[in-house]
Amino acid sequence: MIFRTSRQVSARIACAIGLVAIVSAACTSSAESGPELTVSPPATTIATQQSGDGIVQIAAFLPATGLGSRIGAPVTDAVRLAVSDINAAGGVLGSPLEVSFVDEATSIDLGIVLQSEVDAIVGPASSLNALEMLDQAVDAEVLSCSPTATSLMLDRFPDANLFFRTVGSDSLQMSALARAAARTGGGSLTIVHLDDPYGRGLATALEAAVERRPSLTLAATIPFSGNDPDLADDAASILDNGSRVIAVLGDEADGARMLSALDAALPNDAGVIAPFVVVNDSLRGATDIIATISDRLREQIIGVAARAVVTTVDSPSGYFSTNAYDCVMLIALAARQAGSDIPRSIANQMASVSSGGRLCSTYAECAALIDQGLQIDYNGRSGAVDLGATGDLSRAWFREFRFDDAGREYIFNETGIEISS
């Protein structure tokens, strides 16, 4: 399937700043690639979009290179698949849906892209990039849908109701973590968090989630410094607190250091039972350190992470690919329901097409219902994608993981945990 960018201004931008466009007649063909170009885009002033042209155009900001490419490859393929499915079913507003791809890992002048009649952005994948880009996108009144950006800081970002996510936010992850802690039966929980904005945000969200769990009692919230080379005293104090469940919240490096310190601080008495430890998703990558932790503590660790792969879906495959597919579908269905490609009009219908109406799961099926004047409830490849008033999922799926003796994570709850906000 060929993805076209028919408007000349879009083609010029795609070629000039290295958009990985698929496929523009002015840039590349489906059988060959043009030369790589390195340019310094001029400074631009973003003009607010006032009207549409009847063609829905998406710019996909996803990582093609760098550390994020492991996620970028499957989500890019998922966007292509979604556009192919939509166009095979007749497109949107009587025209094919158009898409261009931008490597999120490169330095791109977003202003140029936003001036090219782009109606919606799929991405960015990175929460940090989303926070950096959103101001410009909101100023240009272009909506964005990210399949992977989970940061708490995006929960209440002043996005003028133009930012959406098909992945559960970290605040929902903390609800899932509270549930995991409650299911241990330990009763008393101590929260241990890295003393930085990331860790403090997670701790605050977990405290709120614990309050909603009558079977859990919050014993204490204890910060630790990532600059402290020795966490032995902190770990001993945490264990002295006596909680049967400890939540360790932090990034991969410092969170793992705290787990190691807790392990070292455990008494050698064989009769001492290690506490349960619940951890956030960043700890999944701490394989080397977790491999050195004793069996008695490692076997007590339970982690929670957003469901990245839906095993019941054949395609698209890969990490967060179904989330990316659903972003494109929601944008197309919202535009169809709005009868317009004006970004604000599309944004106003995003939540509407995601819940509260007749269930449908394909673009063709949902489009037919819309054309009959019926309210739809799109259930996507990633599951129910019920968007709330803030643009975030009101329900999200999370999986619980543990670690084997080599420190590698493995999923032990394949069905996932559905958490409501």
The mean predicted confidence, pLDDT, of the chain is: 86
Regarding whether 369 and 264 lie in a shared domain, the answer is: no
Regarding whether 216 and 139 lie in a shared domain, the answer is: no
pLDDT of residue 22: 27
Q: How many CA atoms within 13 Å lie on the side-chain side of 346?
A: 35
| Number of structural domains in the chain | 2
246 vs 191: CA distance, rounded Å: 6
Q: Please list the residues that pair with 92 across neighbouring strands.
A: 95
Regarding whether 199 and 252 lie in a shared domain, the answer is: yes
Inside any domain, residue 314: no
Regarding whether 275 and 337 lie in a shared domain, the answer is: no
Burial of 11 from C-beta contacts in 10 A (0-12 / 13-18 / 19+)? buried
Burial of 309 from C-beta contacts in 10 A (0-12 / 13-18 / 19+)? middle
Regarding whether 139 and 53 lie in a shared domain, the answer is: yes
> What pLDDT digit, counting tens, does each position of 39-81 carry?
233 333 334 444 578 999 999 999 999 888 889 999 999 999 9
> What pLDDT digit, counting tens, does each position of 354-372 carry?
999 999 999 999 999 999 9
> Residue for token digits 């240009």?
140
Supply 183's token pair.
């299911």
Tell me if residue 151 falls in helix, strand or coil. coil
Q: What is the CATH number of the domain that holds 301?
A: 3.40.50.2300
Regarding whether 262 and 149 lie in a shared domain, the answer is: no
- Angle at the Cα of 198 (from 192 to 200), degrees rounded to 5? 45
Which residues, given as ranges, of the chain have pLDDT below 50? 1-50
Regarding whether 140 and 197 lie in a shared domain, the answer is: no
| CB of 306 closer than 8 Å to CB of 71 | no
pLDDT of residue 214: 92
Regarding whether 281 and 133 lie in a shared domain, the answer is: no
Domain ranges, residue 336: 8-167+320-390
Entry pTM = 0.84
